[in-house]
Structure 1
Amino acid sequence: MITETGTPSRPTTITASFFGYLLSTLASVIAGVILLGSRQQLVDALRKANDTNTGNRLTEDQIQHAASLGQTTAIVVVVLFALVYLLLAFRLRAGRNWARIVLTVFVAFQVISLVTLQGTSAVSYISTGISVIATVLAYLPDSNAYLRGVKRAQ
């Protein structure tokens, strides 16, 4: 269906994909918040690694600083990732095929990361699962027709 502006109307597959990416982003942000609450686990892991280190040992202040730096870095990465992911989701919703391709690459990396890393959380599995479903929805026939129609209308 074509709207009054000459662009095709957005199919439910694109809308569902968009909301899937939003939900996946929210799950990633929640995982980042959980990371803030796991500071003591990070400190304990650093102490354990420090105890097995036969070279230069870290002081308690250095361990605390390393934990703070690690948490801060992780939070910054999560926020940047979420902002880029949201930008791409909105661009997909607007009918941009390049955004679908970039999101597909991101989701592929997300799946690879989930499969290869140890200690991933349930939130990571949920976020990745939602992202995979959103990606599949973005490639269904109605979605393909929408993206082609938007491109023709430009």
Structure 2
Amino acid sequence: MSDRTPQADVPDASARTRTTGGGAAATAPKQVNTAFWLYIACAVLSLVGMIIVLASMGSMTTRLQQSGQVSGGTASAAVGIGVTLNVIFGILFIAAYVLFAVFMRRGANWARIVLLIVTVLSLPGILGGYGIGALQVVLGVIATILVFIKPASEYFRSGRAPRA
């Protein structure tokens, strides 16, 4: 007989752990880790969408000029302001999304709630971004569902235990 521990009993090294109020380490369920990577994929898709917007800046200016409603300089300025705001808010959104996903993976229930709100607010984006918006919304919805069903919900609930 071997005194080695069966492989199934050894915790996955890639799984994140946190300490609960009693001092015991709680391992994040696979659902939480999967949701984390889905949220990261959403952030990457936001970056891709931002790059697409930047790449299409010239065609937007041309379409505005050809509409005849604005002059060339006004069209360039309007597109420039729009793209600048898109990049600024896009970078802030990506950074916040990743930050909230990291905290969610560590077991912060508030981060799970924030990601739920962000996902709900992103639902209108399903129509934009050349299909990237739809993919981002679908991934966000799947990730949000994963963190609200068992055993993930129990993982987040265990963080509310009274501190010793």
The AA in structure 1 aligned to 2:107 is G
- Quote the residue 1:47 is aligned against: 65
The runs of 5 or more residues in structure 2 that have no matched partner are: 1-10, 12-16
The AA in structure 1 aligned to 2:146 is L
Looking at structure 1, the residues matched to 162 and 48 of structure 2 have their Cα atoms a distance apart, in angstroms, of 38
Counting matched residue pairs gives 145
Label 1:95 to 1:3 Cα distance change in 2 as closer, same or farther (>3 A): closer
Looking at structure 2, the residues matched to 143 and 121 of structure 1 have their Cα atoms a distance apart, in angstroms, of 33
Structure with more contact order per residue of length (Cα contacts < 8 Å, sep ≥ 6): 1
Return the TM-score normalized by structure 1: 0.84
- Residue aligned with 1:103, SS: helix
Q: Report % sequence identity.
A: 23
- Quote the residue 1:12 is aligned against: 30
Report the CA distance between 1:153 and its aligned residue.
6.4
**Structure whose alpha-carbon radius of gyration is higher:** 2
Looking at structure 2, the residues matched to 68 and 111 of structure 1 have their Cα atoms a distance apart, in angstroms, of 26
The AA in structure 2 aligned to 1:128 is V
Return the TM-score normalized by structure 2: 0.79
The runs of 5 or more residues in structure 1 that have no matched partner are: none
RMSD: 2.1
Looking at structure 2, the residues matched to 86 and 153 of structure 1 have their Cα atoms a distance apart, in angstroms, of 28
Report the CA distance between 1:3 and its aligned residue.
7.2
- Structure 1 runs (4+) deviating above 6 angstroms are 1-4
**Larger helix proportion, structure 1 or 2?**
1
Q: Give yes or no for contact 2:18–2:107 (8 Å, CA) kept in 1.
A: no
Looking at structure 2, the residues matched to 122 and 63 of structure 1 have their Cα atoms a distance apart, in angstroms, of 26
The yes-or-no answer on 1:90 pairing with 2:94 is: no
Report the CA distance between 1:109 and its aligned residue.
1.1
